[in-house]
Each structure stands twice: as C-alpha cells, then as structure tokens.
Amino acid sequence: MYPVRENEKMKEVKEMLMLAEEKHQIFKQQQLRFIAALERSRESAHCQTRSVSSISEVQWYMTHHCSNSTDQRAFSLFLELMSDLKVLFQMIDSLASAKNFSSGVLDTCRNILSPDCNFSELQAQYPHDVVNRLSCTEAENYYSGVVSVIPVTLDLLSMAFSQMLQVRNEPISQTDITQKTAAVHEQNTLTNASENPHSSKHSYKAMHKGASGWKPLWRPPWRN
C-alpha cells in the first residue's frame, strides 16, 4: 500500500484535476470573449499576421494591450488555468519521481507548460469541440493552438495520472506502461494522418519534435 501521505497527495491530484475540468468548462463558455480580447489586443499591438503561439504572448497582450476589464477577465481566466495546470503537473511529476515512474506524457506536458513553448501546431481532437467553435480563418491561421492547449494538457495530465494509478493497482512493469503510452501516441498519429495526410496540426506528435522542428518563438515587437 501507498503511505498515508502519498494517498493524500493522490487524492489531492484527483480533486485538482476535477476542478481544472470544471474551470475549463467555464472558460469554454467564454471562448468567444477570449478570442475577441485577443483580436483587439493583437490589433493594438500590430501583431495580426501570425498565430498566437505561447503563454508568454498571451501574458504580454494582457499586460500591454488589454483595453478593458472584460478582456482582462478573459485573459486572466486563461492564464489562471494554465497556472493551475502547471501546479498539477508539478504535483504529478513529484509523485512520479518518488516512485521512479517515468512517462513521455509528462515530458510532453513539461514542454507545453513552458512559458515560451510554441503551441500553435496543437489541435484538440474529439470529443473536444474548441476548434470547431472557431471560424475557418481563425482555426487555420491564428487561434487553434491557444484554444487547444488547455484541453490537450488536461488530457495528458489525466493520462499520466491514470498510468500512475495503474502502476499502483496492477502488477505490471514500467516497460509495459511505456509501451502502452507509445501505442496510444502511435494510434493517434496514424488515425490523424489518415484523415489529413498533409497536415501536422491534427496530432500531438508535433510536441515531440526536436529543436529543428519548432517554429520560431514569438517575440514582442520591442524585442525583434
């Protein structure tokens, strides 16, 4: 059995995952408002020609180009959710380290939650509908990544947590878990590639690219 303290941490992670899911549902209801806030801020910053690609970019828009309290609230909810997900990741990662549990899913989360990670290639898949709520132009050119980063990260954190519970409850090896994780990623990649063989936006695989595979990081105009 797990020590009492570790059981408490596992329970806390489960509760935080549920709270994050609930908060994400609230954010989804305000997605149009969030996109409108981005539109106004990008227009003010003269940055309307490229996709929104990182957490730090959203923070910069809110800090320097947010024109009203409504937009401020929309930005704040997004950033608050990303902060919550980072705390969740740190808790799960800490539990994983204590158990010598390793997972490519956690490595992916670590990359996504970096403030300057370019998440513009992310696109949340079914059952998520956040991309479908965008217009074709918005989805193709600007906002599919920024609306996908929260549901994608939530899915990955839930997957990592489920893997840890499976290790706890079943007499299987770390190798078995690693192989199952790889199989899930391969299945997603093959399924999405068959749907659209010319697009990399339909797979989480983009998050596993090497440094040469990333798009240039967004930089505020004053840093160019």
pLDDT along the chain (224 residues), means of 10: 72 94 96 96 92 96 94 97 96 89 89 94 92 90 96 95 79 48 46 41 43 45 46
- The pLDDT score that the predictor gives to residue 178 is 53
- The pLDDT score that the predictor gives to residue 169 is 65
Under DSSP, the state recorded for 142 is I
Distance CA 79, CA 149 (A): 11
- The pLDDT score that the predictor gives to residue 81 is 97
- The pLDDT score that the predictor gives to residue 92 is 94
Domain total for the chain?
1
Q: Does residue 224 lie in a domain region?
A: no
Query: In terms of C-beta density within 10 A (0-12 exposed, 13-18 middle, 19 or more buried), how is residue 119 classed?
Result: buried
Q: Does residue 17 lie in a domain region?
A: yes
Q: Does residue 57 lie in a domain region?
A: yes
Q: Does residue 78 lie in a domain region?
A: yes
Name the residue range of residue 113's domain. 4-208
Helix axis angle for 69-98 and 4-29, nearest 10°, is 150
